[in-house]
A and B are shown apart, each in its own frame.
Chain A
Amino acid sequence: MRRIAGLLLLAAGPVLVLGVLFVLPVAGMVSEGFVADGRFAPGAVLDVLARPRVHRVAWFTVWTSGVATLVAVGLGVPAAFVLHRLAVPGRTVVRAALLVPFVLPTVVVGVAFRQLLGEGGPLGFLGLDGTPVAIVCGLVFFNVAVVIRTVGVAWESLDPRPGQAAAALGASPRQVLRTVTLPALRPAIVGAASIVFLFCATAFGIVLTLGGVRYSSVETEIYLLTTTIFDLRAAAALSVLQIVVVVGLLAVAARLRATPDPTALRAVTPVRTVRRGDLPALALTLLVLAAMLLPIATLVLGSLSVGDGWGLDNYRALTTAGDGQALLVPVTTALVTSLRTAVDATWMALLIGVSVSVIVTRRSHSAAERRVRSTLDGFFMLPLGVSAVTLGFGFLITLDQPPLDLRDSPLLVPMAQALVALPLVVRTLTPVLGGIDDRQRQAAASLGASAWRTLLTVDLPVVWKPMLAASGFAFAASLGEFGATSFLARDTSPTLPVVIFRLIGHPGEMNYGMALAASVVLAVATAVVMIAVERLRVPGVGAF
């Protein structure tokens, strides 16, 4: 009992933070729907859920997410094999490159796809601009990296010997794959698929930029209902629907996630040379890589084209406020704001993330304690799936009166972004911390080390690199965050993604060019951070 009490005391800080910054806003948003004139009135929510448009939106969300998940898994699994198991030259660079889309700002990807598929774009002849196919492509573009990471990390630490035992028993490579390897990878694949489905179903920026008002997912519908139609009840109803589905999916994902004994030594299998049988997978990986590079290349080329020639005019214009005063501040100022915000969001996410990770990975001494820890673990993962729009809107309506009047606080946006980045930090750190054998700490303690000293000698040497990687990951995620920020950023100090979105919405060729140039700047910034993270060689980054 004392241990559990101690645990709860330790957890009190992060729980309080998450309570105020997450539960309160989300609850506020939800109660908008259920409470009418001070009375509990769930009928209105049910009315909203019966609307045909809501059905359309829900179905659209489900099928686009489902298809995108299937495609992402279909492409990601072979690519994971090639990039994590084969001695392909330049595979670390490619792995880093494939991680970039995942943290690439959604708005940037939206712009890149429109540039690629729109009239006059290299693939404009396909006539895909503004179709659901484009949205699915965009979703796949984002999430294939998640599959590659998650499955690849599982695959490279997969013991090759059962496969060899099967081969020695007469199984052909294909039979080994079917009967031994895939069953062993199933938790990782299903786990990745459920997380990808979750990301797709809550995708915001990409659907908003590619679908416009014609195609709407639950997430963009919430946005439209709150900002354009001001039907808060309907928005709240959709939020509730989304939260229920997301919590369910998270629970499924948590059950399916491979949880091998974390203290077991994680051996990375050496890569092997390419054989003829690997050619299909290799070709597919090249295709994935090409499909990843194409939108980005189009984006870069688009940003460099001026009238009929080439030039840096679009980049020079970033110091202005755009054609017809599209913006209140120059793009360069927005960039500085973005960087500053990301720094704040990073230290916040790290501070909460580290304490959460320490709390959930300490060994439990009783079943009750284990239950408390896993409940906490699940609780801190919630922001991963709950709509950023819900969160952002919730911030607006709940944190606007004393004692929690944060509306004008410069930390409001960083706080929201830190919450969005928190699960990434926790997911990076927990496997590492959980992998430290508790007996090492006991050994240190028995040799006379104090609790602090133990932390310094046992935990810190193992965890400092993952912490650095987690910071980078959080920083990149924060740089690109759009959903919550679009609600919270004040017009006078927007972040870069917000500015880009505003530029696309404003007519004027110069504005569009500036949006492209700003997207490139943002993409480069995130890519640089991610490559630095990749160089740290922390195995679990980007895997779920």
Chain B
Amino acid sequence: MLATSDATVRYGDTTAVDHVSLDLDSGQVLAVLGPSGCGKSTLLRAVAGLEPLTAGSISWDGADLAGTPTHKRGFALMFQDGQLFTHLSVARNVAYALRLRRVPSAQVVARVAELLELVGLSGYAERLPGTLSGGERQRVALARALAVEPRLLLLDEPLTALDATLRERLAGDLRSILQAAGTTALLVTHDHEEAFALADRLAVMRAGRVVQSGAIDEVWREPVDEDTALFLGYARVLRDEAATRVLAAAGLGSSYAVALRRSALVLDPAGPVRGVVESARVTPEQVRLVVAGDGIGAVDAVAPLGSRVAPGDEVTLRVDVTRLAVLPIVGQA
């Protein structure tokens, strides 16, 4: 298993990674989620051995990796844009690590065919990377990374460079491939959808520090502060009086702040929260509203498709308890 303890990377005066301690058990996928510039990629590169630590340590199964150069770590790194070797064919790319290890060529051919089938690219062996689409290139990069069964797969925003539909499809594929191979993986991303699609565990990183980590649903349900909640896809954070009112309507005790998803408030004739509709927008699944709630201010709400609501209407709303998170402390916005 991988363990970082107080891992720190500094460039001059700036601290890119600040005392990060994480554990990753074998067979699990950990996503490090954070906005761009939070130091997550630097952390990944440090684990890969491409960035020296200023302090702290990174170890595998208890053995410190400080003196182990990248190529001896037995990890595989998959870059955001694949980084295929453009002068080599798809098959040559996938076989790269095998050839380095002087695997007999009959075995190489068999393994390459197997891997290309795994990523759904059988028949692409002789193509050059330049002729592939973005999604195909990522698949080749994945096959290349998996070729020698790395003890840890490092993924740097593997899906971000792709368009939305492709991303969704490849995320599913990637997830099942990782599970089928029982691969231990460390993933960094700024996209919470990508993290949810792929990971078992989540660590939220901000300004070089890990602010929260745990099982993915735990972190999701109980974000540690306002910024984390917003980053995890919560739509709004209410504080003080407004928070208390919403929590009371949900039958919960008061707190400093509450994070609401878009669907936390639902149009309900019997609902306890009153308000005036500010805007209404039809989406394929629901009608999305922004409502100025009494004593709450502007909040998002949803109504079933077909509801006749227009800006200016007075409405009542109920609170869906499963769609909000009570925040223990107020983060610095």
Hey, which bits of chain A sit against chain B, CB under 8 A? 159, 161-162, 164-173, 175-176, 179-180, 183-184
Contact = CB atoms under 8 A, between A and B. Distances in A.
Instruction: Enumerate the 4 nearest inter-chain pairs by beta-carbon distance, A residue then B residue, closest first.
Output: A168-B77, A169-B97, A167-B70, A165-B83
B96 A166 contact: yes
Contacts, number: 68
A161 B83 contact: yes
B48 A164 contact: yes
B132 to A, nearest CB: 16
A179 B100 CA distance: 10
A168 B85 contact: no
Contacts of B96: 166, 169, 171, 179
B51 to A, nearest CB: 10
Nearest to A163: B83
B60 interface: no
B140 to A, nearest CB: 12
B71 A167 contact: yes
Contacts of B154: 168
Of listed B71, B78, B145, residue having the most chain A CB within 10 A = B71
Interface in B148-163: 148, 154
Interface string B89-133: 000000011001100000000000000000000000000000000
A124 B19 CA distance: 63
A184 B87 contact: yes
A182 B71 CA distance: 18
30 contacts: A161-B83, A162-B83, A162-B85, A164-B79, A164-B83, A165-B78, A165-B83, A166-B96, A167-B71, A168-B48, A168-B50, A168-B70, A168-B71, A168-B73, A168-B154, A169-B77, A169-B96, A169-B145, A170-B71, A171-B100, A172-B69, A173-B71, A175-B71, A175-B100, A176-B71, A179-B85, A179-B100, A180-B85, A183-B85, A183-B87
A161 B79 contact: yes
A184 B85 CA distance: 9
B236 to A, nearest CB: 37
A166 B147 CA distance: 13
Contacts of B77: 164-165, 168-169
A161 B97 CA distance: 16
Contacts of A168: 48, 50, 70-71, 73, 75-77, 154
Contact of B144 (A169, A180, A184): A169
B134 interface: no
A166 B85 contact: yes
Contacts of B101: 170
Of listed A168, A170, A172, residue having the most chain B CB within 10 A = A168
B74 interface: yes
A170 B79 contact: no
Of listed A161, A164, A167, A169, residue having the most chain B CB within 10 A = A169
Given A164-B48, A165-B79, A170 B74 contact: yes
B98 to A, nearest CB: 9
Given A161-B83, A183-B87, A167 B50 contact: yes
Contacts of A184: 87
Given A169-B100, A179-B100, 16 more contacts: A161-B83, A165-B77, A166-B96, A167-B71, A168-B50, A169-B76, A169-B77, A170-B74, A170-B100, A170-B101, A171-B97, A171-B100, A172-B69, A173-B69, A173-B71, A179-B96
A454 B71 CA distance: 50
Interface in B11-49: 45, 48-49
A162 B137 CA distance: 14
A32 B44 CA distance: 70
Contact of A170 (B45, B50, B83, B148): B148
Contacts of A171: 71, 96-97, 100
Contacts of B84: 162
A164 B72 CA distance: 13
A184 B73 CA distance: 25
Nearest to B81: A161
Contacts of B85: 162, 166, 179-180, 183
Nearest to A161: B83
A176 B71 CA distance: 10
Nearest to B153: A168
Contacts of B144: 169
Contacts of A183: 85, 87
A233 B67 CA distance: 71
A370 to B, nearest CB: 20
B115 to A, nearest CB: 13
A305 to B, nearest CB: 49
Contacts of A169: 71, 76-77, 96-97, 100, 144-145, 147-148
B43 to A, nearest CB: 15
A173 to B, nearest CB: 8
Contacts of B78: 165
A183 B93 CA distance: 14
Contacts of A162: 83-85
B74 A164 contact: no
A184 B87 CA distance: 8
A292 B78 CA distance: 44
A172 B71 contact: yes
A172 B70 CA distance: 8
A365 B79 CA distance: 35
Contacts of B72: 170
A179 B97 CA distance: 11
Contacts of A165: 77-79, 83
Contacts of B83: 159, 161-162, 164-165
